[in-house]
Structures are given as structure tokens and as C-alpha cells.
Amino acid sequence: MRKIILAGAVLLTTALGASSFAMADKAASMSPEKMQERHASMCSDRSAREIGHLAYLQEKLKPTSAQTAAWTKYRDALTAQAKTAEQNCLTRPARVKGERPSIVERQAMMQKGLEAKLASLKATQPALQGLYASLTDEQKQVLDREGGNRHFASWRGHGRHGGGMEYKARFERHHDKPAPEAPVEQ
């Protein structure tokens, strides 16, 4: 079963890789209006994925009737933050080929993004604490494993694909054994 899943993942990765080259070429020839439309679609897709993840998490946690109020408060807090993040995303201009913000502008954008993420964490923390306190030990394990820290999904570790401790945690979670140590550079 694991080999079939792995083979499917390899095929999917290959297909996505090929399509990303085609998309990059297509993006280079897009009009600014099309780029803005594509940007808006990516913003709403991110929000939809977050809401979909909450449905998945609810199915995995299977909250009891006694936990429903805490779950609903948590879900609503994260849904509100996902919608806020979508609106923040939509206010950022789409990148236009050949135009790159200055280092001052990039740093200001980074600061604004970090402040928004911090506000999001502060807004959702009380609901998370309430939910976590109501869960059984088994449910806490599920939330610890599957809940993740999706607030920082776009800048975990190195680059967009994660790295460092996040890689080790994912490896250990999926392989049920310690991650191999990274080679030490000399």
C-alpha cells in the first residue's frame, strides 16, 4: 500500500513540476489584469484550503457533544482568521513580471505580514486553549499531529517546502522512526 501511495506521489509531483514550468511560461505572457485575477484566485484558494483542513480536523477529532462548543469556537476563530488573511492577500498587488519591490518595500511587506500572523495567533489562542483543555489524551495527540501550525505554513524552515525541525517532525510522524541526521558541513 505504501509503495502505491509513493508511486502516486511521484507521478503527481512529476505532473505538477511539468505544469509549473508551463504555468511560469504562461505567467510571463499574462496581462496585468490576468495576473491580478490569478492572484485573487490564489488568495481565495488559500482560505478554502484552511477551511477544508478544519473539516478534515473535525472528522479526525470527532468532538463529543460536550466538546462541540469548544470546537465551534475554535473553528469559527480560525475561519475568521482565514477570511482576514484572504482579505489581506487581496489587498497586496499581484507581482508583475520584471517588477521587483525594493528591499525597503519588501521588508515593510514582511513586517506587515508578520504583524498580521501575530494578530492571528493572539486572536485564535484562547479558542485553541479552550478546545485543547476539553480534549481527551487521544484527541490531543491527533490535534498535536494534524492541527499543525498553519499560521506559518508559508515560511516554515527554508524556502516554501519547510526544513529543519519541521522536516524532522514530518519524517518521524510519517515513518515512525527518527529522522536521519543531516550531514555536518566542514
- Tens-place pLDDT, residues 13-26: 565 555 555 555 55
Looking at the 3D structure of the chain, how many domains does it have? Answer: 1
Global pTM reads 0.61
Range of the domain at 114: 29-84+106-122
User: For residue 47, is it within any domain?
Assistant: yes
* Cell numbers placing 174: 510519517
User: For residue 5, is it within any domain?
Assistant: no
User: For residue 98, is it within any domain?
Assistant: no
Q: How many helices (H) and strands (E) does the chain have?
A: 6, 0
User: For residue 16, is it within any domain?
Assistant: no
The pLDDT value recorded for residue 139 is 94
User: For residue 94, is it within any domain?
Assistant: no
User: For residue 133, is it within any domain?
Assistant: no
Average the pLDDT over each of 33-42, 48-57, 108-117 and give the range with the smallest value: 33-42
User: For residue 118, is it within any domain?
Assistant: yes
Task: Give the residue among 74, 54, 57 at the shortest CA–CA distance from 129.
Answer: 74
The pLDDT value recorded for residue 163 is 47
User: For residue 33, is it within any domain?
Assistant: yes
